[in-house]
Chains A and B, each alone.
Chain A
């Protein structure tokens, strides 16, 4: 049964690689989550630029991790290990698109994301693992592609963050952001309904949460509009300090 010896080797190599990727994916998830938390502090903070720069640094760190993933996958079929890295990639999409939104108030495209995930060969030697450089013809640059589905799921998660951002900015007395956000969320929601059932199961599952987020934001805007017109401008600040609670109560009902 000599052949089984080689099977053992092959399976072990594969499992090891899978485990390494899972670990990387977890790291990516954690780092991306932290970036998102950081970005939530952005609203109304006087040191906005600073936070954006810091988030950029953090995302660079995440990208370095993704680079390692890409290195693991050199010469491999990406979809074979897709399940190991998918959660991390989704979280990354969420973080990157969140940052992009804060900067430009628009949605980052898949192409844009993938453009940032093309790596060159510079410091390959030091980080590459024993298994991944066994292939003789290595490409000079390599990239990791975020699949449309990963992208969609990431964007769906983004809407949740935007909802939080909206409620948060109301709390800070910012009345423009909620309207912008509701506009933006509505566009995304329309996009998702356009895709509807053609997408995979996970996407349709997210659609429900997305609808809830949108409703919350729309309700917040509604309250702002109604109450905002009643209250004289100079008292706005006082009202908004209590507004958050009000909105929270309404959310409980809806």
Chain B
């Protein structure tokens, strides 16, 4: 085989590769569009009136995830299944964003952390690498970290909207999350950088809880829903100076 023949063959391979990337980019763009729509929808919860119809918003968001599923379905057809990581960079960002959105919806609905399997199901993909287009564990964790900062914001805004019980629940949730992440030995990469931001979210929420506690603002809520935290956080003295 002559040198020029070899290079012609290589050039063919490279062009084919670029075509695949082009196709992937197109689908990813559409995915980003859908992700933005979902985000806009969910952003409503930060506004005062938004707290009333959280279930409705979640419902709508879940409908949008149907679009995400079809879009991911078409993404799967753009490249060979066993070359997932070859093109990973192209959808990494949007996938993390989608994990965050799914986790946010699940949190708003049930106040629990979505499992990796559940996210995969919402997005219509596999949790396991062996079975095709899957959710990489680092992407999942990144998405969860984004959820943490969103919840820190939500804690602040729910106080403004007069919902004094939510920050306490968020606090427990995020503390649990924090101790979970502490178990991981992270390398010095992007995930680690994002994890480093988690402590600020934890701090923020703790400040909110503190502000509520010294003013006794969390009293009614805690009596009603969170008795164990109630006894733990607030002494009798605070109950007397009721709001």
Which of these binds chain A: B57-65, B84-92, B98-106, B234-242?
B84-92
Query: Of A15, A107, A151, A195, which one neighbours B3 at CB under 8 angstroms?
Result: A107
Q: Give CA–CA (A86, B82) in the complex, Å.
A: 18
Which B residues touch A188, using CB under 8 A? 3
Q: Give CA–CA (A15, B184) in the complex, Å.
A: 12
A interface majority secondary structure: helix
Query: Of A5, A11, A82, which one neighbours B85 at CB under 8 angstroms?
Result: A82
Contact of A191 with B6 at beta-carbon distance under 8 Å, contacts A1-B176, A8-B183 already known: yes
Contact B137 A79 (CB under 8 A): no
Query: Of A3, A15, A110, A148, which one neighbours B14 at CB under 8 angstroms?
Result: A148
Contact B8 A3 (CB under 8 A): no
- Chain A CB within 8 A of B186 CB: yes
Contact of A77 with B3 at beta-carbon distance under 8 Å, contacts A7-B137, A8-B184 already known: no
- Chain B CB within 8 A of A12 CB: yes
Chain A residue with Cβ nearest B82: A77
Chain A residue with Cβ nearest B136: A80
Q: Give CA–CA (A12, B85) in the complex, Å.
A: 19
Query: Of A3, A82, A192, which one neighbours B116 at CB under 8 angstroms?
Result: A3
Chain A residue with Cβ nearest B83: A79
Contact of A198 with B15 at beta-carbon distance under 8 Å, contacts A3-B116, A11-B137 already known: yes
- Chain B CB within 8 A of A4 CB: yes
Contact of A4 with B4 at beta-carbon distance under 8 Å, contacts A79-B84, A198-B14 already known: no
Instruction: List residues of B whose CB falls within 8 A of some A CB.
Output: 1-4, 6-8, 10-11, 13-15, 17-18, 82-86, 88, 115-116, 129, 137-138, 141, 176-177, 179-181, 183-187
A-B contact pairs, 14 of them (CB 8 A): A4-B181, A11-B137, A14-B137, A77-B129, A79-B84, A79-B88, A80-B85, A109-B6, A148-B13, A148-B17, A151-B10, A152-B10, A191-B7, A198-B14
